[in-house]
C-alpha cells in the first residue's frame, strides 16, 4: 500500500485503477480487502495467551485509527520519516475503512468465490478453519 501511495500521491506518476477501499470494483474484491494476522495452528495452540494479546492490541489500534486518524499519522511519521506527512495521512484515510478487526462469515464466503472461479480450488475454505474464532471476544472488545 505504501509503494502505491507514493507512486500516486507523492510522485504523481500513476493512479489507482480500482480502489476497493473506496467501494470501487467488483463486490467480491471489496470484501477481500482486510488486514489479517496469520499464524499456524501449531503456534496458536502453543501460545494462546500471546495470540490473544496480539489480537487485542491490533483491535485496539484499529479502533484508535478509525476514531483518530491523526494519531496514526504521528506514529507513521516516526516509522517512515522520509515520507511526506500528507502522503501518510492519505494512506491512513484510504485504509480507514479496513481498520475493522473482524473477518465476517459473509466476507469469507465471498473470498472463497475467487479461487474457485479461477479454478485453483474446488471447495470453500471453512470459516472456522481460516479464522481463529476462539479469539472472537478479543477482537470484539
- Mean pLDDT for back-to-back runs of 10 residues, the chain (141 residues): 63 65 61 77 96 94 89 85 82 81 86 85 91 91 77
Cβ partners under 8 Å of residue 116, min gap 6: 122, 123, 124
- In the prediction, which pLDDT does 17 show? 61
As for how many domains the chain has, the answer is: 1
Which structural domain, as residue segments, surrounds residue 118? 2-139
Q: Helices 69-79 and 85-95 sit at what angle, rounded to 10 degrees?
A: 130
Amino acid at each position: 500500500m505504501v509503494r502505491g501511495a507514493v507512486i500516486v500521491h507523492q510522485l504523481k506518476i500513476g493512479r489507482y485503477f480500482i480502489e476497493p477501499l473506496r467501494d470501487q470494483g467488483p463486490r467480491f474484491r471489496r470484501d477481500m480487502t482486510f488486514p489479517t494476522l496469520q499464524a499456524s495452528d501449531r503456534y496458536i495452540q502453543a501460545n494462546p495467551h500471546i495470540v490473544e494479546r496480539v489480537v487485542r492490541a491490533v483491535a485496539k489500534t484499529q479502533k484508535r485509527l478509525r476514531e483518530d486518524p491523526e494519531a496514526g499519522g504521528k506514529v507513521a511519521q516516526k516509522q517512515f520519516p522520509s515520507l511526506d506527512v500528507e502522503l501518510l495521512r492519505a494512506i491512513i484515510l484510504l485504509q480507514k475503512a479496513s481498520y475493522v478487526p473482524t473477518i465476517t462469515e459473509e466476507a469469507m464466503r465471498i473470498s472463497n468465490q475467487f479461487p474457485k472461479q479461477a479454478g485453483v480450488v474446488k471447495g470453500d475454505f471453512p470459516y472456522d478453519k481460516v479464522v481463529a474464532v476462539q479469539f472472537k471476544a478479543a477482537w470484539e472488545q
